[in-house]
Structure 1
Amino acid sequence: MADSALAPLRHRVFAVLWTATVLGNIGTWMRDVGSGWLMTSLAPSPVMVALVQAAGTLPVFVLALPAGALADLLDRRKLLIAAQCSLGVVSLALALCTATRIMTPWLLLLLVLAGGVGAALAAPAWQSSVPEMVPRADLRAAVALNSMGVNVSRAIGPALGGLLVATLGVTATYLADAFSYVLVIAALLWWKRVAPEADGPRETLPGAMRAGLRYALHARGLQRVLLRAVVFFALGAAHWALLPLLARHALGGGPGLYGFMLAGIGAGAVGGALALPWLRERFGGAEGLMLAGALANAAAQAGLALAPTGGVAVVFCVLAGVAWIAVLTTLNAATQAVLPNWVRGRGLAVYLTVFSGAMALGSLSWGQVASWIGIGGALLAAAAGGTAAALLGRALPLPAGEEPLDPSRHWPDPHAAHAADHAHGPVAVQVEYRVAPERQAAFRRAIAPLGAIRRRDGATAWAVFTDTADPARVVEWFTLTDWAEHMRQHGRVTIADQAVQAAVNALHEGADPPRVTHLIGLAARLRV
């Protein structure tokens, strides 16, 4: 099992929490089947049915960044327990309102929205905890197993949900979901997590959110992943949003067919996850797998649009599941691979924001398109767009994700005649180089990536100057909001960044290394 897709299950903590999460997600899918089917009875328009999915994913779009910051600042285990408790309360409220027949379309959407808030708080904390449970060598496989776990639950949950709806009613799906959270909470209470020590002064929530956004704005590898993700998920949302209507109206089926179509997607995803090592090798790595998955997803959407029977639709749902897991795992693993530990929760939160935003807006858009040109027409349009996007995406390849992102800790502590208060600022840092004028073109090329690194890790401004009186004197200058942020910057520099700095220093002339000067705003010093 060491070299297989199941290798992370050797690690006990990961295995227990993964199993509990699968059981919890089975309950969630049962709840979602109940909610989607209930809306087809309360308000059967395409837009209202699509709003059920949008309401579940929109909170992740809105709250993912603060949730990611909380995952980096707080004890992730305690945050997960609180989120699971809130989700259990929401499911009990859904059950009560449905059983007493006071449920309305807008009350259903409100409770689905509340469930989305709980999911938004939990998602970054769970995903950013995975590297604590497995060694780096097993991280990609663990990410794939997480995706597979979601789809194992998707293979089982919808079928059980459809069965419960058909036999015991929608209320039973909500009660089953509430019970599943008890299992997840028990596993989290069993986990004795040892929180890692923080590098540098503790961040505030607003500051941590700004740092996460700043990182995303200046980390080019992460930006490529996010752009590829938003295009795929906006187009891929079509069949997720329209599946209840496809089952009920286009194919004339009942909740059982809808459940089996979702189960087909889940079964395809499970099989695809187990075959991922072979598929990745077959298609030449992550980029080839991404292309194949996106094209297969478009083919599945076209097949669903033209499927004459429910059985044929289930077959295309299986293909959609294989395609979805291939793309989702590729994008998620690429995101994990380009994030250092200090910003992992926030970086994953930005990815989840893109994912959920694209899914929510895509769901609303495809619901509206279906009301104009029909369910089949909307799915064919999404398939055409997905095919074009998959082919054009080759121009923006995903990052390899092989850079060493552990802290280098090669910066010496700054020298100060008096101890600086962490709140003092702004802070300016000057680095003086000696570079002959004929070598300054090469120096500009070498130092350009360093500007993005400085901004990514905390700098609010960055520039490079030459001295008019001494053309060989080159000064790099960057500013930060306060001394605490600069001290945190010391802990954020990675081994990969050290290599960039070494390339710059190689063009510096003189026996002494570049001279570094730290400056604090005079007004801050006068307040001491």
Structure 2
Amino acid sequence: MTGTDDGRAGDGGQVGDGGETGEAGGSAWSPLRRRVFRDLWLAQFTSNVGSWMQTVGAQWLLVGHGAAQVSLVQLAAGLPVLFLALPAGVLADLVDRRRLLLAMQAAMALVAAALAVLAFTGRLGPWTLLALTFLLGCGNALNGPAWQAVQPSLVPRDELRQAAALGAVNLNLARAVGPALGGLLIAVLGVGWTFAVNAASFLAILAVLATWRPGTPARVPRPGQEREHLIAALRAGGRYVRSAPRIRRILLRSALFVPGASALWTLLPVSAHQSLGLGAAGYGLLLGAVGLGAVAGAAALPALSRQVGGNGALALAGAVFAGALVTLAVGAGVPVAFLALVLAGAAWITALSTLNAGLQVALPAWVRARASAFYLLVFQGGSALGALCWGQVAQHAGVSAAMLLAALVLLGGVLSLRRLPLPGGRTDPTLSEAWPEPRLTVEPAPQDGPVLVTVTYRVRAERAPAFVTAMRKVESSRRRTGAVSWGLYRDAARPEQFVETFTVTSWSEHCAQHHGRYTGTDRAFETDARALLTGEPTVTHAVMAHDRDA
């Protein structure tokens, strides 16, 4: 599959799910040939560098107020994700994602500009700084799911793994470059300029978004549907994640990797100062090693994925990252630490790209941002809780002990891959219209409901066990697409007859099952079950009766 000249790609075709298939098309840098992806990647790098420069400036302003307030900068920036990620995911699935990104980037630019003005005029106090940093964190939280969800429209699906790797490279390179530039700017011109540069950095993303014209059609409701409301859409996203084993397993694998790996980002500054005897310049050198490893890991990822698959890549990444933590814990010296951090950067890219790409290629368009929000919640929450945990361990038992314990946690995650691997096989998240239209005498109103759907099947006795097994996958399909209850019953008087029942909250939700949520994978599950029947099933639709119907 190839994208169009402007970077767009279609949604068609079956794809690997990020498990053992390990599919990756083209070279590590092939997504950069897509003009919009390349322009957004460069603009995002500019913005990420600006963000890290601002973080340095904010921390520098608070140095004289004690370590506790300095630590509040990261808390203020990261806390909004924990309570805004899920609503942001719903919003990104309901509105035009490009316009949402434009609004959030513009809002964050204004907040950064306000920080700069207050700093230049000497009116930026500690609590004002933290409050505005919190607002920037809110913008990032509302921006994140939409940013994740647009990626599949920028590159072909067989390049999603490389695109995810390049996204992680972007962040790690900015992490290496931004603090160094921020420190230099503070020394030469003053703290206010770090805020001003960050405000200007948003203009790069705004310029690219303003000229990008995605080919995604508008979300226009079909007959019998109405636009999803916020709460209903949030519940639909939660039902999808609960009923999608692939997505749940990716979230689990993230939860088993990120908290342990977060020890490196939390404790590296202390390790650089205490164990390696390095100053700010030496710490910047270590961050550069991580960035170098990220680039190398992104380059090697396509070949690695083809050789060992998604689970093999995760196992290798976890083991290598654990080894890097052990190396830093034993204080092997600066050259060895530099090499260990290069490997850690490559391992970090490998793990995050495998998980992120596995998520994106498995998600249908209608719920992509909502499910991505769950992923961001697990990722950010795991990072925050991990940082809190390792900081406390280091405070009471020492940095080396904390790093060794984190390495053990990572190795435990590697061992768990034998029993809890990423799912293999293939999935087709593309929209399917194969579900037949219901035959009705009276069309219910969109808000009418609940709706009870009953499907009667006839199956020969020898095929009954296989049919029941096949229907378990149909159950997950029904629940993912909107069913709030489901059951399969066998007629006691006619054992060859089975009755499936499921309920949906409204007629609009059921129409969404037909027209906006039924994918190629759902069709395949239903086809496998119906191949065991002796004839066509009978379907009935019943809508909850109310007093007005009497």
Q: Same fold (TM over 0.5)?
A: yes
Q: Which residue of 2 aligns with 1:363?
A: 387
Q: Which residue of 2 aligns with 1:498?
A: 523
**What's the CA shift for 1:288?**
1.0
Kindly indicate whether residue 232 of structure 2 is the aligned counterpart of residue 207 of structure 1: yes
* Rounded Cα–Cα distance in structure 1 between residues aligned with 2:446 and 2:322: 53
What secondary structure does 2:67 align onto?
Answer: coil
Q: Which residue of 2 aligns with 1:443?
A: 467
* Rounded Cα–Cα distance in structure 2 between residues aligned with 1:236 and 1:261: 16
Q: Which residue of 2 aligns with 1:67?
A: 88
Work out which of the residue numbers 501, 506, 511 in structure 2 matches 1:477: 501
TM-score (norm 2): 0.88
* Rounded Cα–Cα distance in structure 2 between residues aligned with 1:258 and 1:108: 25
**What's the CA shift for 1:239?**
1.7
* Rounded Cα–Cα distance in structure 2 between residues aligned with 1:444 and 1:432: 13
* Rounded Cα–Cα distance in structure 2 between residues aligned with 1:162 and 1:324: 26
* Rounded Cα–Cα distance in structure 2 between residues aligned with 1:303 and 1:249: 15
Q: Which residue of 2 aligns with 1:119?
A: 140
The change in CA–CA distance for 1:50 and 1:325 in structure 2 (over 3 A counts) is farther
1:6-26 superposed Cα distances (whole Å, 9 cap, x missing partner): 212222222212221111111
* Rounded Cα–Cα distance in structure 1 between residues aligned with 2:58 and 2:341: 20
**What's the CA shift for 1:344?**
0.8
1:472-515 superposed Cα distances (whole Å, 9 cap, x missing partner): 221100000000000001131211221211121122223xx100
Q: Which residue of 1 aligns with 2:192?
A: 171
TM-score (norm 1): 0.92
**What's the CA shift for 1:139?**
2.6
Q: Please give the residue correspondences for 1:142-291 in structure 2 after superposition, counting only pairs within 5 Å.
A: 142-198=163-219, 200=222, 201=225, 202-282=227-307, 284-291=308-315
Report how many aligned residue pairs link the two structures: 522
**What's the CA shift for 1:342?**
1.1
**What's the CA shift for 1:438?**
4.4
Contact 1:166 1:256 in 2 (8 A): no
Work out which of the residue numbers 487, 491, 503 in structure 2 matches 1:463: 487
* Rounded Cα–Cα distance in structure 1 between residues aligned with 2:66 and 2:421: 43
Kindly indicate whether residue 159 of structure 2 is the aligned counterpart of residue 135 of structure 1: no
The change in CA–CA distance for 1:181 and 1:386 in structure 2 (over 3 A counts) is same
1:394-414 superposed Cα distances (whole Å, 9 cap, x missing partner): 321113463112122111111
* Rounded Cα–Cα distance in structure 2 between residues aligned with 1:306 and 1:136: 42
1:211-231 superposed Cα distances (whole Å, 9 cap, x missing partner): 111111110000110001012
Using the aligned pairs only, state the percent identity: 44
Kindly indicate whether residue 84 of structure 2 is the aligned counterpart of residue 32 of structure 1: no
Q: Which residue of 1 aligns with 2:33?
A: 10
Contact 2:148 2:369 in 1 (8 A): yes
**What's the CA shift for 1:254?**
3.6
**What's the CA shift for 1:432?**
0.3
Amino acid in structure 2 at the alignment position of 1:237: S
1:381-437 superposed Cα distances (whole Å, 9 cap, x missing partner): 111211222222332111346311212211111122122110000001000011244
**What's the CA shift for 1:317?**
2.6
* Rounded Cα–Cα distance in structure 2 between residues aligned with 1:204 and 1:162: 46
**What's the CA shift for 1:111?**
3.4
* Rounded Cα–Cα distance in structure 2 between residues aligned with 1:260 and 1:168: 23
What secondary structure does 1:519 align onto?
Answer: strand
Q: CA RMSD in A?
A: 2.4
- Deviates most, 464-473 or 341-350: 464-473
* Rounded Cα–Cα distance in structure 2 between residues aligned with 1:97 and 1:315: 42
Contact 2:311 2:417 in 1 (8 A): no
**What's the CA shift for 1:96?**
4.7
What secondary structure does 2:248 align onto?
Answer: helix
What secondary structure does 1:395 align onto?
Answer: coil
**What's the CA shift for 1:464?**
0.9
Kindly indicate whether residue 456 of structure 2 is the aligned counterpart of residue 432 of structure 1: yes
* Rounded Cα–Cα distance in structure 2 between residues aligned with 1:262 and 1:31: 17
The change in CA–CA distance for 1:249 and 1:116 in structure 2 (over 3 A counts) is farther
**What's the CA shift for 1:151?**
2.6
Kindly indicate whether residue 285 of structure 2 is the aligned counterpart of residue 300 of structure 1: no
* Rounded Cα–Cα distance in structure 2 between residues aligned with 1:101 and 1:316: 43
The change in CA–CA distance for 1:273 and 1:117 in structure 2 (over 3 A counts) is same
Amino acid in structure 2 at the alignment position of 1:149: N
Contact 1:159 1:260 in 2 (8 A): no
What secondary structure does 1:285 align onto?
Answer: helix
Instruction: List alignment gaps of at least 5 residues for structure 2.
Output: 3-24
**What's the CA shift for 1:308?**
5.8
* Rounded Cα–Cα distance in structure 2 between residues aligned with 1:523 and 1:92: 56
What secondary structure does 1:408 align onto?
Answer: coil
Contact 1:221 1:398 in 2 (8 A): yes
The change in CA–CA distance for 1:376 and 1:100 in structure 2 (over 3 A counts) is farther
* Rounded Cα–Cα distance in structure 1 between residues aligned with 2:168 and 2:547: 49
* Rounded Cα–Cα distance in structure 2 between residues aligned with 1:312 and 1:44: 30
The change in CA–CA distance for 1:82 and 1:260 in structure 2 (over 3 A counts) is farther
**What's the CA shift for 1:104?**
5.9
Amino acid in structure 2 at the alignment position of 1:73: L
* Rounded Cα–Cα distance in structure 1 between residues aligned with 2:209 and 2:520: 34
1:197-249 superposed Cα distances (whole Å, 9 cap, x missing partner): 43643211211111111111110000110001012111111121223333445
**What's the CA shift for 1:167?**
3.9
The change in CA–CA distance for 1:85 and 1:255 in structure 2 (over 3 A counts) is farther
Q: Please give the residue correspondences for 1:35-50 in structure 2 after superposition, counting only pairs within 5 Å.
A: 35-36=58-59, 38-39=61-62, 41-44=64-67
**What's the CA shift for 1:522?**
0.6
Contact 2:293 2:346 in 1 (8 A): yes
1:328-379 superposed Cα distances (whole Å, 9 cap, x missing partner): 1011011112111111111111111110111111111212222111222212
* Rounded Cα–Cα distance in structure 1 between residues aligned with 2:463 and 2:248: 31
Amino acid in structure 1 at the alignment position of 2:429: L
**What's the CA shift for 1:440?**
2.4
- Deviates most, 31-40 or 129-138: 31-40
The change in CA–CA distance for 1:390 and 1:150 in structure 2 (over 3 A counts) is same
Contact 2:362 2:428 in 1 (8 A): no
Contact 1:55 1:360 in 2 (8 A): no
Q: Which residue of 2 aligns with 1:523?
A: 546
Amino acid in structure 1 at the alignment position of 2:442: H
The change in CA–CA distance for 1:389 and 1:165 in structure 2 (over 3 A counts) is farther
